Amino acid sequence: AQTVTQSQPEMSVQEAETVTLSCTYDTSESDYYLFWYKQPPSRQMILVIRQEAYKQQNATENRFSVNFQKAAKSFSLKISDSQLGDAAMYFCAYRSRRSGNQFYFGTGTSLTVIP
Amino acid sequence: DAGVIQSPRHEVTEMGQEVTLRCKPISGHDYLFWYRQTMMRGLELLIYFNNNVPIDDSGMPEDRFSAKMPNASFSTLKIQPSEPRDSAVYFCASSLGTGEAFFGQGTRLTVV
């Protein structure tokens, strides 16, 4: 089975600064999706950004961008100009593009934003 | 679409009682997932369905847990009898065959 590892249980960042959350994964497949989800205190799981493995260009969504290193099986999330509302638990997730596969989630990184 | 809808949002029950959690997936999605989230164990996949058929229920902790999907627009997760260690947030999510999962707001279950 695929595994997703988030080695940083907790991170903190000063408001307006930049922070990078790490994620590595293990797979023998070549075609898959990677995702970052945000879970604020409201507990709603919100999709932040997604990356398709066949795309070489790193995905970007406003202040959120990823550094996708396919050979290294690394998928980090960069948050620029951090805001108080970015404080949340962040989960990295993997899904094969083969139909029928489940999602594999990391254990999460708790991000604190310091005013 | 209103997104994935779960009910109830909160449930408090006494040990030994039956608990039923409900989920309405996004219309057109053919995959439905049930997850349990706790501080100790994180996010765990309990079971998932494809076209209303259970594909993998290996995450269901015990026979006390059962899940059904009688049609494409409704699924239930039942715990009978409930125990205090079942206290957690239960999420339902749906998706197409590829791409991201869309999560409901979760049900916080407390068994006293």
pLDDT tens for A36-95 read 999 999 999 999 999 999 998 999 999 999 999 999 999 999 999 999 999 999 999 999
Q: A76 CA to chain B: closest CA distance, Å? A: 18
* Chain A neighbors of B109, CB-CB under 8 A: none
* Chain A neighbors of B91, CB-CB under 8 A: 45
Is the peptide bond prior to B54 cis by the omega test (within 30 degrees of 0)?
no
- pLDDT at res. A100: 64
Contact A102 B93 (CB under 8 A): no
Q: Could you tell me if A110 and B111 are in contact, meaning their C-beta atoms sit under 8 angstroms apart?
A: no
Q: Chain B contact for A63, CB < 8 A?
A: no
Q: Could you tell me if B92 and B48 are in contact, meaning their C-beta atoms sit under 8 angstroms apart?
A: no
- pLDDT at res. B36: 97
- pLDDT at res. A99: 59
- pLDDT at res. A2: 80
- pLDDT at res. B98: 86
CA-based nearest residue to B99, from B21, B34, B30: B30
pLDDT less than 70: residues of chain B: 1
State the CB neighbour count (10 A cutoff) for residue A2.
Answer: 16
Q: Which residues of B touch A (CB under 8 A)?
A: 33, 42-43, 45, 48, 50, 55-56, 89, 91, 93, 97-103, 105-106, 108
Alpha carbon distance A97, A52 (integer Å): 9
- pLDDT at res. B2: 82
Q: Chain B contact for A32, CB < 8 A?
A: no
Q: Could you tell me if A68 and A58 are in contact, meaning their C-beta atoms sit under 8 angstroms apart?
A: yes
Q: Chain B contact for A1, CB < 8 A?
A: no
* A6 CB-near residues (< 8 Å, 6+ apart): A21, A22, A23, A90, A91, A92, A106, A107, A108, A109
Contact A102 B45 (CB under 8 A): yes
pLDDT band at A96 (very low <50, low <70, confident <90, very high): confident
Among chain B residues, CA nearest to A51: B99
Q: Could you tell me if B34 and B48 are in contact, meaning their C-beta atoms sit under 8 angstroms apart?
A: yes
Q: Is B58 exposed, middle or buried (0-12, 13-18, 19+ CB in 10 A)?
A: exposed
Q: Chain B contact for A44, CB < 8 A?
A: yes
Residue scoring higher pLDDT (A102 or B68): B68
Smallest Cβ distance to A43: which of B89, B93, B97? B89
Q: B64 CA to chain A: closest CA distance, Å? A: 23
